[in-house]
Amino acid sequence: MASAAASAPATWRRTLVCASLTARTPREMAAEVAAAAALGADVAELQVGCLDGFEPRRDLPVLLTKPRPLPVIVTCRPKWEGGQYKGEEETRFEALLLAMELGAEYVDIEFKVADKFMNFLSGKKPETCKLIVSTRNYENTPSVQELLNLVAQIRATGADIVRIATTASAIVDTSTMFQVLEHCQENQVPIIGLVMNERGFISRVLCAKYGGFLTFASLEKGKESSPGQPTVADLINKYKIRQIGPDTKVFGIVGNPVSHSKSPIVQNQAFRSVGFNAVFLPFLSDDLAKFLSTFSAPDYAGFSCTMPHKETAVRCCDDLDPIARDIGAINTIIRRADGKLVGYNTDYFGAISAIEDGIRASQSTDSTTSPLAGRLFVVIGAGGAGKALAYGAKAKGAKIVIANRTFGICFLELLLNQFNLITAQIKVFTLRGQTFPARAEELANIIGGSALTLSELENYHPEEGMVLANATSVGMHPNVDETPLSKHALKSYAVVFDAVFVPRETRLLREAAACGATVIDGLEMLIRLVIVQFKLFTGGMTAPECLMREAILTKTH
């Protein structure tokens, strides 16, 4: 598929935010409607099948008495459609009719029984109530044509609004739904089209770009009514869904995992503060090349790349910034006006400047040179971030040591790419006692370094003032008890940096500080690199640095 909805819909309507409520008692659910209104929701979905011992004539008047703070959708989803209702169909139909008579603005009925329900109504539906006919696919996302055929079948039942939910096996499935939404907007068909689970998350936000009738959200975390559902507060405050329209540019962080990323919070606030019409999203993607080829429309204007795509991204770009080419890994992709993708690396600047400033703040240094000049600089990790750190430190005059948990082609690529630039001693060793293949020893000999075993590393201390930089995910949430190096070994280092920023204080940093080292956390790297990315994303706009720093620091757990 060449693009995801290659042009904005011809007709567009503002997407409503609907809080999907699943309280167990009528009074609790009524209170949740008020809470949803206070958060800024436009509509509330009352999933009455979730009520304990649901009795329509007793419970519905409590929920539907006017004045109400929000219009409501009444849903009584049966077990066979993923809901909680276990009773008879006729009783369910009677409850939905009663909801209409009591003034519900919308009633939802499943496509499988829509014809039976219409026969049951026999023209009794009030004109003030809109009928939503819904279907859910918990297995996959069918093709565009299959979904359009389904839309036509649902409309034929007499539906006022079409509601389709599918399941994402890959993030590119959302592109299928966007094309369906686009088609429906062009033909003025009100539709709710969403893709469930984390890989489908972006459909819950970007449906606003394509004019989806509404999107569902939970009142708070832990109260989701379907997989991948955001909260009302996140949709409105974090993703600024009220400002999303057909001309909104789309940016995001592509990787696996991405749910921990602070970038959406930071970039969305920054975009809004300078009046830049864009949204920044988490893109959970396993296949970067397929993601980029699918979301190739001009509005998909740039991406941050994180694990495991930083090196793969090099092969996906049409052009590379010279520094990114030297490093052999990128963390930022920009789509030019001609559609070509250009790769950049801002990791090295973010990390190295954070380390330099950390040293200057804690130690007396010569202001005319980098505090890294002449120091032995040990990088743990030979992936994209490790390469960036090695490149940046080497450019500052440090002597580079690269350590990695595994040994593979990434070392060869790094060292061959930089061989002609090397002016410092380079040593290659591995962790966890793995045995070096002959290629590792051969490469170490070529560059004048050496290969060390884990036991040698534990007591490795050839000089004072050494710097350690962890560029792996070891110690990242939820594996917070892990550390890439023992506390005993940390005693040899004067400065320790950890690229992990969730948690902010990792075990590595905690133990290094206890040993007397100057420690620099990954948040400082993140703050600096996202500021550079903002300028790339916006075509050179001045970044609101104070706002971005505050957003990162206040949202870190």
Active-site positions read 310
- From the number of C-beta atoms within 10 Å of its C-beta (0-12, 13-18, 19+), residue 520 rates as buried
3-class SS string, 173-236: HHHHHHHHHHHHHHCCCCEEEEEECHHHCHHHHHCCCCCCCEEEEECCCCCCCCCCCCEHHHHH
Q: Which residues pair with 132 in a beta bridge?
A: 108, 161
Amino acid at 555: K
Would you call the peptide bond into 308 cis, given omega within 30 degrees of 0 as the criterion? yes
For residue 71, what are its two tokens? 């219009």
CA dihedral 366, 370, 374, 379 (to 10 degrees): 140
Q: Which helix (H) or strand (E) element contains residue 282?
A: strand 278-284
Taking a C-beta distance cutoff of 8 angstroms, is the pair 99, 74 a contact? yes
Tell which residue, 354, 457, 448, has the closest CA to residue 404: 457
| Contact predicate 71/105, CB 8 Å | yes
Peptide bond between residue 503 and the one before it cis (omega within 30 degrees of 0): yes
CB of 344 within 8 A of CB of 530? no
In terms of phi and psi (left: phi > 0; alpha: psi -120 to 50; beta: otherwise), the region of 45 is beta
Q: Which pair of structure tokens corresponds to residue 298?
A: 């001009």
How would you class 312 by CB atoms within 10 Å of its CB: exposed for 0-12, middle for 13-18, buried for 19 or more? middle
Distance CA 176, CA 150 (A): 14
Asked whether the beta carbons of 475 and 507 are under 8 A apart, the reply is yes
Q: What is the 3-state secondary structure (H, E, C) of 354-421?
A: HHHHHHHHHCCCCCCCCCCCCCEEEEECCCHHHHHHHHHHHHCCCEEEEEECCCCHHHHHHHHHHHHH
Beta-carbon contacts of 201 under 8 Å, excluding residues fewer than 6 positions away, are 228, 230, 281, 282, 284
Q: How far apart, in whole angstroms, are the C-alpha atoms of residue 371 and residue 356?
A: 6
Q: 252 forms bridges with which residues in the sheet? A: 281, 303
CA atoms within 13 A on the CB side of 117: 26
